[in-house]
Structure 1
Protein backbone atom coordinates (compact mmCIF):
# COMPACT_ATOMS: atom_id res chain seq x y z
CA UNK A 1 0.00 0.00 0.00
CA UNK A 2 1.27 3.40 -0.89
CA UNK A 3 1.86 5.48 2.25
CA UNK A 4 3.31 8.70 0.86
CA UNK A 5 1.22 11.45 -0.66
CA UNK A 6 0.06 11.12 -4.23
CA UNK A 7 2.00 13.52 -6.43
CA UNK A 8 0.22 15.69 -8.99
CA UNK A 9 1.76 17.79 -11.76
CA UNK A 10 -0.44 20.79 -12.55
CA UNK A 11 0.37 22.49 -15.87
CA UNK A 12 -1.37 25.78 -16.75
CA UNK A 13 -0.06 29.13 -17.94
CA UNK A 14 -2.48 30.90 -15.56
CA UNK A 15 -0.23 31.21 -12.51
CA UNK A 16 -2.98 32.61 -10.29
CA UNK A 17 -5.27 29.69 -11.10
CA UNK A 18 -2.42 27.24 -10.53
CA UNK A 19 -1.77 28.72 -7.10
CA UNK A 20 -5.43 28.48 -6.12
CA UNK A 21 -5.86 24.89 -7.37
CA UNK A 22 -2.55 23.85 -5.86
CA UNK A 23 -3.55 25.22 -2.45
CA UNK A 24 -6.86 23.35 -2.57
CA UNK A 25 -5.30 20.07 -3.72
CA UNK A 26 -2.62 20.26 -1.04
CA UNK A 27 -5.37 20.71 1.55
CA UNK A 28 -6.93 17.54 0.09
CA UNK A 29 -3.72 15.65 0.87
CA UNK A 30 -1.93 15.75 -2.49
CA UNK A 31 1.63 16.81 -3.13
CA UNK A 32 1.45 19.30 -6.01
CA UNK A 33 4.08 20.62 -8.41
CA UNK A 34 3.12 23.39 -10.82
CA UNK A 35 4.58 24.37 -14.19
CA UNK A 36 3.41 27.08 -16.55
CA UNK A 37 4.77 26.20 -20.00
CA UNK A 38 4.44 23.20 -22.27
CA UNK A 39 8.19 22.98 -22.80
CA UNK A 40 8.88 22.80 -19.07
CA UNK A 41 6.16 20.19 -18.59
CA UNK A 42 7.44 17.98 -21.40
CA UNK A 43 11.01 18.10 -20.11
CA UNK A 44 9.89 17.31 -16.55
CA UNK A 45 7.66 14.41 -17.54
CA UNK A 46 10.19 12.80 -19.85
CA UNK A 47 12.82 12.95 -17.12
CA UNK A 48 10.69 11.53 -14.33
CA UNK A 49 8.00 8.95 -13.64
CA UNK A 50 7.25 10.16 -10.11
CA UNK A 51 3.82 11.67 -10.80
CA UNK A 52 0.59 9.80 -10.13
CA UNK A 53 -1.49 12.11 -12.32
CA UNK A 54 -0.91 15.08 -14.63
CA UNK A 55 -3.48 17.88 -14.93
CA UNK A 56 -2.76 19.53 -18.27
CA UNK A 57 -4.35 22.66 -19.75
CA UNK A 58 -4.79 22.42 -23.51
CA UNK A 59 -4.72 26.13 -24.31
CA UNK A 60 -1.22 27.39 -23.52
CA UNK A 61 0.94 29.78 -25.55
CA UNK A 62 3.90 28.22 -27.33
CA UNK A 63 3.85 24.48 -26.83
CA UNK A 64 0.19 23.61 -26.29
CA UNK A 65 -1.20 20.93 -24.03
CA UNK A 66 -1.84 18.72 -27.05
CA UNK A 67 1.81 19.09 -28.05
CA UNK A 68 2.83 18.04 -24.53
CA UNK A 69 0.45 15.09 -24.64
CA UNK A 70 1.82 13.92 -27.99
CA UNK A 71 5.43 14.11 -26.79
CA UNK A 72 4.81 12.45 -23.42
CA UNK A 73 2.61 9.62 -24.70
CA UNK A 74 5.40 8.46 -26.99
CA UNK A 75 7.38 7.40 -23.91
CA UNK A 76 5.20 7.57 -20.79
CA UNK A 77 1.81 6.16 -19.77
CA UNK A 78 1.30 8.49 -16.79
CA UNK A 79 -2.42 9.28 -16.38
CA UNK A 80 -3.28 12.67 -17.91
CA UNK A 81 -6.40 14.73 -17.23
CA UNK A 82 -6.95 17.52 -19.74
CA UNK A 83 -8.40 20.90 -18.83
CA UNK A 84 -10.41 22.18 -21.79
CA UNK A 85 -12.77 25.01 -22.62
CA UNK A 86 -16.37 24.10 -21.81
CA UNK A 87 -17.38 23.94 -25.48
CA UNK A 88 -14.14 22.63 -26.99
CA UNK A 89 -15.50 19.23 -28.06
CA UNK A 90 -12.98 18.88 -30.89
CA UNK A 91 -10.03 19.47 -28.55
CA UNK A 92 -11.47 16.93 -26.11
CA UNK A 93 -11.84 14.25 -28.77
CA UNK A 94 -8.40 14.94 -30.23
CA UNK A 95 -6.87 14.80 -26.77
CA UNK A 96 -8.54 11.49 -26.00
CA UNK A 97 -7.47 10.09 -29.38
CA UNK A 98 -3.90 11.09 -28.53
CA UNK A 99 -4.03 9.20 -25.25
CA UNK A 100 -5.46 11.48 -22.55
CA UNK A 101 -7.33 9.56 -19.86
CA UNK A 102 -10.15 12.04 -19.30
CA UNK A 103 -11.06 15.72 -19.51
CA UNK A 104 -12.62 18.43 -17.37
CA UNK A 105 -14.04 21.70 -18.65
CA UNK A 106 -12.75 25.08 -17.49
CA UNK A 107 -13.51 26.96 -15.38
CA UNK A 108 -13.54 23.94 -13.08
CA UNK A 109 -14.68 23.56 -9.51
CA UNK A 110 -11.64 22.59 -7.37
CA UNK A 111 -13.70 19.92 -5.63
CA UNK A 112 -14.64 18.38 -8.98
CA UNK A 113 -10.98 18.45 -10.04
CA UNK A 114 -9.98 16.71 -6.81
CA UNK A 115 -12.70 14.10 -7.36
CA UNK A 116 -11.52 13.45 -10.93
CA UNK A 117 -7.91 13.05 -9.77
CA UNK A 118 -8.98 10.60 -7.06
CA UNK A 119 -11.00 8.68 -9.65
CA UNK A 120 -7.94 8.39 -11.88
CA UNK A 121 -5.75 7.25 -9.00
CA UNK A 122 -8.43 4.79 -7.85
CA UNK A 123 -8.32 2.98 -11.18
CA UNK A 124 -4.52 2.96 -11.47
CA UNK A 125 -3.61 1.78 -7.99
CA UNK A 126 -4.16 -1.74 -6.67
CA UNK A 127 -4.03 -0.90 -3.00
CA UNK A 128 -5.12 2.65 -2.21
CA UNK A 129 -4.89 4.52 1.03
CA UNK A 130 -6.98 7.45 2.21
CA UNK A 131 -10.18 5.42 2.21
CA UNK A 132 -10.21 4.70 -1.51
CA UNK A 133 -11.72 1.42 -2.65
CA UNK A 134 -9.68 -1.66 -3.46
CA UNK A 135 -10.44 -4.42 -5.96
CA UNK A 136 -9.23 -8.02 -6.15
CA UNK A 137 -6.43 -8.91 -8.55
CA UNK A 138 -7.73 -10.59 -11.69
CA UNK A 139 -5.77 -12.52 -14.30
CA UNK A 140 -7.68 -12.90 -17.58
CA UNK A 141 -6.87 -14.53 -20.94
CA UNK A 142 -9.04 -14.20 -24.04
CA UNK A 143 -8.45 -14.01 -27.80
CA UNK A 144 -4.69 -14.25 -27.18
CA UNK A 145 -4.81 -11.23 -24.86
CA UNK A 146 -3.48 -11.69 -21.34
CA UNK A 147 -4.35 -9.14 -18.65
CA UNK A 148 -3.07 -8.94 -15.08
CA UNK A 149 -4.75 -6.31 -12.91
CA UNK A 150 -2.13 -6.81 -10.22
CA UNK A 151 0.72 -5.55 -12.36
CA UNK A 152 -1.67 -3.70 -14.70
CA UNK A 153 0.02 -5.29 -17.69
CA UNK A 154 -1.44 -6.44 -20.99
CA UNK A 155 0.33 -8.97 -23.19
CA UNK A 156 -0.31 -10.41 -26.63
CA UNK A 157 1.89 -13.42 -27.38
CA UNK A 158 4.13 -12.31 -24.49
CA UNK A 159 4.55 -8.90 -26.14
CA UNK A 160 3.53 -5.89 -24.01
CA UNK A 161 0.47 -4.01 -25.27
CA UNK A 162 0.82 -0.33 -24.26
CA UNK A 163 -2.43 0.93 -22.77
CA UNK A 164 -3.37 4.07 -20.90
CA UNK A 165 -5.03 3.71 -17.51
CA UNK A 166 -8.51 4.18 -18.96
CA UNK A 167 -7.85 1.80 -21.86
CA UNK A 168 -6.58 -0.89 -19.51
CA UNK A 169 -9.65 -0.64 -17.31
CA UNK A 170 -12.02 -0.68 -20.29
CA UNK A 171 -10.37 -3.75 -21.80
CA UNK A 172 -10.27 -5.49 -18.42
CA UNK A 173 -13.99 -4.85 -17.87
CA UNK A 174 -14.89 -6.12 -21.33
CA UNK A 175 -12.77 -9.26 -20.94
CA UNK A 176 -14.03 -10.19 -17.48
CA UNK A 177 -17.62 -9.80 -18.71
CA UNK A 178 -17.12 -11.31 -22.16
CA UNK A 179 -20.35 -12.19 -23.91
CA UNK A 180 -22.29 -9.58 -21.93
CA UNK A 181 -23.41 -6.22 -23.27
CA UNK A 182 -22.18 -3.41 -21.03
CA UNK A 183 -23.99 -0.11 -21.33
CA UNK A 184 -22.04 3.05 -22.08
CA UNK A 185 -23.31 4.48 -18.81
CA UNK A 186 -21.98 1.53 -16.80
CA UNK A 187 -18.67 1.52 -18.65
CA UNK A 188 -18.14 5.22 -18.01
CA UNK A 189 -18.89 4.78 -14.31
CA UNK A 190 -16.72 1.70 -13.87
CA UNK A 191 -13.84 2.75 -16.13
CA UNK A 192 -13.67 6.49 -15.49
CA UNK A 193 -15.30 6.48 -12.05
CA UNK A 194 -17.72 9.21 -13.04
CA UNK A 195 -21.23 9.44 -14.55
CA UNK A 196 -21.79 9.59 -18.30
CA UNK A 197 -22.29 13.21 -19.35
CA UNK A 198 -24.34 14.66 -22.18
CA UNK A 199 -22.54 14.35 -25.55
CA UNK A 200 -19.78 12.41 -23.78
CA UNK A 201 -17.47 10.73 -26.31
CA UNK A 202 -14.74 9.64 -23.90
CA UNK A 203 -15.66 5.96 -23.81
CA UNK A 204 -16.19 5.79 -27.57
CA UNK A 205 -12.69 7.13 -28.14
CA UNK A 206 -11.10 4.79 -25.58
CA UNK A 207 -12.78 1.78 -27.23
CA UNK A 208 -11.66 2.98 -30.67
CA UNK A 209 -8.05 3.22 -29.47
CA UNK A 210 -8.20 -0.25 -27.94
CA UNK A 211 -9.48 -1.67 -31.22
CA UNK A 212 -6.69 0.03 -33.14
CA UNK A 213 -4.05 -1.35 -30.79
CA UNK A 214 -5.49 -4.87 -30.93
CA UNK A 215 -5.74 -4.67 -34.71
CA UNK A 216 -2.08 -3.74 -34.96
CA UNK A 217 -1.37 -7.08 -33.26
CA UNK A 218 -3.67 -9.02 -35.60
CA UNK A 219 -6.69 -9.20 -33.29
CA UNK A 220 -9.75 -7.85 -35.09
CA UNK A 221 -13.51 -7.61 -34.56
CA UNK A 222 -13.58 -8.96 -31.00
CA UNK A 223 -15.23 -5.86 -29.48
CA UNK A 224 -18.74 -5.35 -30.80
CA UNK A 225 -20.72 -2.11 -30.64
CA UNK A 226 -24.36 -2.59 -29.66
CA UNK A 227 -25.99 0.43 -31.26
CA UNK A 228 -27.66 2.74 -28.76
CA UNK A 229 -26.63 0.54 -25.83
CA UNK A 230 -22.92 -0.08 -25.34
CA UNK A 231 -20.20 -2.62 -26.04
CA UNK A 232 -19.53 -6.33 -25.82
CA UNK A 233 -16.36 -8.40 -25.93
CA UNK A 234 -17.08 -11.58 -27.88
CA UNK A 235 -16.29 -14.90 -26.23
CA UNK A 236 -13.97 -17.26 -28.06
CA UNK A 237 -17.02 -19.35 -28.99
CA UNK A 238 -18.73 -16.40 -30.67
CA UNK A 239 -17.76 -15.71 -34.28
CA UNK A 240 -15.97 -12.41 -34.87
CA UNK A 241 -18.20 -9.93 -36.60
CA UNK A 242 -18.41 -6.33 -37.65
CA UNK A 243 -20.16 -3.68 -35.55
CA UNK A 244 -23.88 -3.19 -35.85
Structure 2
Protein backbone atom coordinates (compact mmCIF):
# COMPACT_ATOMS: atom_id res chain seq x y z
CA UNK A 1 0.00 0.00 0.00
CA UNK A 2 1.17 3.52 -0.74
CA UNK A 3 1.59 6.24 1.85
CA UNK A 4 2.26 9.93 1.23
CA UNK A 5 4.25 11.88 3.83
CA UNK A 6 3.77 15.65 3.61
CA UNK A 7 6.17 17.52 5.89
CA UNK A 8 8.59 20.37 5.23
CA UNK A 9 10.94 18.94 7.90
CA UNK A 10 12.99 16.51 5.81
CA UNK A 11 14.51 14.80 8.85
CA UNK A 12 11.08 13.89 10.22
CA UNK A 13 9.89 12.80 6.78
CA UNK A 14 12.96 10.58 6.36
CA UNK A 15 12.51 9.06 9.84
CA UNK A 16 8.87 8.20 9.18
CA UNK A 17 9.79 6.83 5.75
CA UNK A 18 12.34 4.43 7.25
CA UNK A 19 9.77 2.93 9.64
CA UNK A 20 7.07 2.69 6.95
CA UNK A 21 9.38 0.96 4.48
CA UNK A 22 10.37 -1.50 7.21
CA UNK A 23 6.67 -2.41 7.46
CA UNK A 24 6.46 -3.04 3.72
CA UNK A 25 4.74 0.17 2.59
CA UNK A 26 5.61 2.11 -0.53
CA UNK A 27 6.36 5.71 0.46
CA UNK A 28 6.11 9.03 -1.36
CA UNK A 29 7.30 12.29 0.18
CA UNK A 30 6.31 15.89 -0.43
CA UNK A 31 7.81 18.88 1.33
CA UNK A 32 5.03 21.34 0.47
CA UNK A 33 1.34 21.25 -0.36
CA UNK A 34 1.59 21.89 -4.11
CA UNK A 35 3.90 18.90 -4.56
CA UNK A 36 1.53 16.73 -2.50
CA UNK A 37 -1.41 17.62 -4.75
CA UNK A 38 0.68 16.78 -7.83
CA UNK A 39 1.50 13.34 -6.40
CA UNK A 40 -2.16 12.68 -5.60
CA UNK A 41 -3.08 13.37 -9.22
CA UNK A 42 -0.55 10.83 -10.51
CA UNK A 43 -0.43 8.07 -7.88
CA UNK A 44 -3.06 6.07 -6.01
CA UNK A 45 -2.37 6.89 -2.35
CA UNK A 46 -3.93 4.83 0.45
CA UNK A 47 -3.02 7.07 3.42
CA UNK A 48 -1.57 10.53 4.01
CA UNK A 49 0.57 11.65 6.95
CA UNK A 50 0.23 15.42 6.93
CA UNK A 51 2.06 18.04 8.99
CA UNK A 52 -0.01 21.07 9.98
CA UNK A 53 2.72 23.71 10.03
CA UNK A 54 4.08 24.14 6.51
CA UNK A 55 4.95 27.16 4.36
CA UNK A 56 2.61 28.09 1.53
CA UNK A 57 -0.42 25.80 1.73
CA UNK A 58 -0.50 24.67 5.34
CA UNK A 59 -1.70 21.24 6.41
CA UNK A 60 -5.18 22.39 7.35
CA UNK A 61 -5.87 24.01 3.99
CA UNK A 62 -4.32 21.08 2.17
CA UNK A 63 -6.53 18.68 4.12
CA UNK A 64 -9.58 20.69 3.11
CA UNK A 65 -8.59 20.57 -0.56
CA UNK A 66 -7.95 16.82 -0.46
CA UNK A 67 -11.31 16.18 1.21
CA UNK A 68 -13.17 17.85 -1.65
CA UNK A 69 -12.89 14.66 -3.72
CA UNK A 70 -10.88 12.08 -1.78
CA UNK A 71 -11.76 9.98 1.28
CA UNK A 72 -8.22 8.65 1.80
CA UNK A 73 -7.33 8.46 5.53
CA UNK A 74 -5.38 11.48 6.78
CA UNK A 75 -3.27 11.48 9.95
CA UNK A 76 -2.24 14.97 11.03
CA UNK A 77 1.04 15.75 12.76
CA UNK A 78 0.81 18.68 15.16
CA UNK A 79 2.76 20.38 17.93
CA UNK A 80 1.58 19.42 21.42
CA UNK A 81 0.72 23.03 22.28
CA UNK A 82 -1.37 23.59 19.15
CA UNK A 83 -4.71 22.17 20.34
CA UNK A 84 -6.63 24.67 18.22
CA UNK A 85 -4.79 23.50 15.10
CA UNK A 86 -5.59 19.87 15.89
CA UNK A 87 -9.29 20.62 16.27
CA UNK A 88 -9.28 22.66 13.08
CA UNK A 89 -7.50 19.85 11.25
CA UNK A 90 -10.13 17.35 12.36
CA UNK A 91 -12.86 19.77 11.34
CA UNK A 92 -11.35 19.97 7.84
CA UNK A 93 -11.55 16.19 7.46
CA UNK A 94 -8.54 14.59 9.14
CA UNK A 95 -9.20 11.15 10.63
CA UNK A 96 -6.62 11.15 13.40
CA UNK A 97 -3.67 13.13 14.73
CA UNK A 98 -0.35 12.49 16.42
CA UNK A 99 1.41 15.12 18.48
CA UNK A 100 5.07 16.02 18.07
CA UNK A 101 7.41 14.76 19.36
CA UNK A 102 5.98 11.32 18.68
CA UNK A 103 7.03 7.71 19.02
CA UNK A 104 7.38 6.29 15.47
CA UNK A 105 5.92 2.99 16.67
CA UNK A 106 2.76 4.78 17.82
CA UNK A 107 2.47 6.43 14.42
CA UNK A 108 2.89 3.07 12.67
CA UNK A 109 0.17 1.56 14.86
CA UNK A 110 -2.21 4.37 13.90
CA UNK A 111 -1.29 3.96 10.22
CA UNK A 112 -2.14 0.24 10.37
CA UNK A 113 -5.43 0.94 12.15
CA UNK A 114 -6.51 3.52 9.57
CA UNK A 115 -5.51 1.32 6.65
CA UNK A 116 -7.48 -1.64 8.02
CA UNK A 117 -10.55 0.54 8.28
CA UNK A 118 -10.00 2.05 4.83
CA UNK A 119 -9.58 -1.39 3.25
CA UNK A 120 -12.79 -2.64 4.87
CA UNK A 121 -14.55 0.54 3.79
CA UNK A 122 -13.58 0.13 0.14
CA UNK A 123 -14.18 -3.61 0.03
CA UNK A 124 -17.53 -3.31 1.79
CA UNK A 125 -16.44 -5.87 4.37
CA UNK A 126 -16.31 -6.20 8.11
CA UNK A 127 -15.78 -9.07 10.44
CA UNK A 128 -19.13 -8.86 12.18
CA UNK A 129 -22.27 -10.82 11.43
CA UNK A 130 -24.90 -8.13 11.24
CA UNK A 131 -27.65 -6.91 8.99
CA UNK A 132 -26.24 -5.00 6.08
CA UNK A 133 -29.01 -2.41 5.95
CA UNK A 134 -30.11 0.03 8.66
CA UNK A 135 -33.23 1.97 7.77
CA UNK A 136 -34.38 4.91 9.87
CA UNK A 137 -36.95 7.58 9.05
CA UNK A 138 -34.58 9.89 7.18
CA UNK A 139 -31.42 7.82 7.15
CA UNK A 140 -30.38 4.66 5.33
CA UNK A 141 -27.02 2.94 5.94
CA UNK A 142 -25.73 -0.03 3.99
CA UNK A 143 -22.83 -1.74 5.72
CA UNK A 144 -22.01 -3.97 2.77
CA UNK A 145 -21.64 -1.18 0.23
CA UNK A 146 -20.74 1.53 2.76
CA UNK A 147 -23.32 3.93 1.39
CA UNK A 148 -25.35 6.44 3.36
CA UNK A 149 -28.57 8.09 2.21
CA UNK A 150 -29.84 11.02 4.27
CA UNK A 151 -33.07 12.79 3.34
CA UNK A 152 -33.03 10.98 -0.04
CA UNK A 153 -29.54 12.25 -0.86
CA UNK A 154 -26.38 10.14 -0.93
CA UNK A 155 -23.77 11.38 1.52
CA UNK A 156 -20.02 10.82 1.24
CA UNK A 157 -18.42 9.96 4.57
CA UNK A 158 -14.84 9.11 5.45
CA UNK A 159 -14.24 5.65 6.97
CA UNK A 160 -14.05 7.11 10.50
CA UNK A 161 -17.27 9.10 10.02
CA UNK A 162 -19.03 6.01 8.68
CA UNK A 163 -17.92 3.91 11.67
CA UNK A 164 -19.21 6.49 14.16
CA UNK A 165 -22.55 6.84 12.40
CA UNK A 166 -22.95 3.07 12.05
CA UNK A 167 -22.14 2.55 15.73
CA UNK A 168 -24.87 4.97 16.80
CA UNK A 169 -27.44 3.83 14.23
CA UNK A 170 -26.96 0.13 14.95
CA UNK A 171 -27.54 0.76 18.67
CA UNK A 172 -30.66 2.92 18.46
CA UNK A 173 -31.59 4.61 21.70
CA UNK A 174 -28.30 3.78 23.42
CA UNK A 175 -26.27 6.75 24.61
CA UNK A 176 -22.55 6.54 23.92
CA UNK A 177 -20.11 8.78 25.75
CA UNK A 178 -17.28 10.35 23.78
CA UNK A 179 -14.89 7.96 25.52
CA UNK A 180 -16.95 4.92 24.45
CA UNK A 181 -17.17 6.13 20.87
CA UNK A 182 -13.42 6.73 20.72
CA UNK A 183 -12.58 3.33 22.18
CA UNK A 184 -15.06 1.48 19.92
CA UNK A 185 -14.12 3.28 16.68
CA UNK A 186 -10.40 3.88 17.14
CA UNK A 187 -9.94 0.59 19.05
CA UNK A 188 -7.76 2.17 21.69
CA UNK A 189 -8.11 3.71 25.12
CA UNK A 190 -8.50 7.45 25.40
CA UNK A 191 -5.82 8.76 27.75
CA UNK A 192 -6.55 12.47 27.75
CA UNK A 193 -9.52 14.74 27.27
CA UNK A 194 -9.79 15.86 23.68
CA UNK A 195 -12.37 17.03 21.17
CA UNK A 196 -11.72 14.39 18.52
CA UNK A 197 -15.12 12.69 18.75
CA UNK A 198 -17.00 15.97 19.12
CA UNK A 199 -15.42 17.37 15.95
CA UNK A 200 -16.22 14.20 13.98
CA UNK A 201 -19.83 14.28 15.21
CA UNK A 202 -20.10 17.87 14.04
CA UNK A 203 -18.77 16.93 10.60
CA UNK A 204 -21.22 14.04 10.30
CA UNK A 205 -24.12 16.32 11.27
CA UNK A 206 -23.10 18.84 8.64
CA UNK A 207 -23.29 16.12 6.00
CA UNK A 208 -26.44 14.21 7.00
CA UNK A 209 -28.71 16.85 8.51
CA UNK A 210 -30.67 19.71 7.01
CA UNK A 211 -28.89 22.55 8.74
CA UNK A 212 -31.99 24.00 10.38
CA UNK A 213 -30.16 24.58 13.65
CA UNK A 214 -31.60 21.63 15.55
CA UNK A 215 -30.12 18.17 15.25
CA UNK A 216 -32.57 15.90 13.45
CA UNK A 217 -30.69 12.58 13.53
CA UNK A 218 -27.81 12.51 16.04
CA UNK A 219 -29.06 13.67 19.42
CA UNK A 220 -26.87 15.14 22.15
CA UNK A 221 -27.60 13.97 25.67
CA UNK A 222 -26.01 16.78 27.62
CA UNK A 223 -23.34 15.67 30.04
CA UNK A 224 -23.58 12.07 28.82
CA UNK A 225 -22.95 11.66 25.08
CA UNK A 226 -24.70 10.99 21.77
CA UNK A 227 -27.42 8.73 20.43
CA UNK A 228 -29.69 8.05 17.47
CA UNK A 229 -33.32 7.30 18.27
Instruction: Give, in angstroms, the shift of residue 8 of structure 1.
Output: 1.0
2:146 aligns with 152
Q: What does 1:1-244 correspond to in 2, within 5 Å?
A: 6-45=1-40, 47-48=41-42, 50-126=44-120, 134-136=127-129, 138-156=132-150, 158-216=152-210, 220-234=215-229
- 2:209–2:217 Cα contact (<8 Å) kept: no
Contact 2:150–2:209 (Cα < 8 Å) also in 1: no
Unaligned runs of 5+ in 2: none
Structure-2 separation of matches of 1:123 and 1:172: 13
Structure 1 pair 222/216, CA: closer, same or farther in 2 (3 Å)? closer
- TM-score, normalised relative to structure 1: 0.84
**CA drift at 1:200:** 1.1
Hey, what's the Cα distance between the residues in 1 that align with 2:152 and 2:225?
30
Query: Matches of 2:116 and 2:8 in 1, distance apart?
Result: 28
Shift of residue 199 of structure 1?
2.4
Number of residue pairs matched by the alignment: 224
Distance 2:34 2:55 in 1: 10
Secondary structure of 2:184 counterpart: helix
Which ranges of structure 1 fall in alignment gaps of 5 or more residues?
A: 1-5, 235-244
Please name the residue that 1:240 is paired with. none
Q: CA RMSD in A?
A: 2.2
Larger mean Cα displacement after TM superposition, 141-150 or 198-207? 141-150
3-state SS of paired residue (2:77): strand
Normalised by the length of structure 2, the TM-score is: 0.89
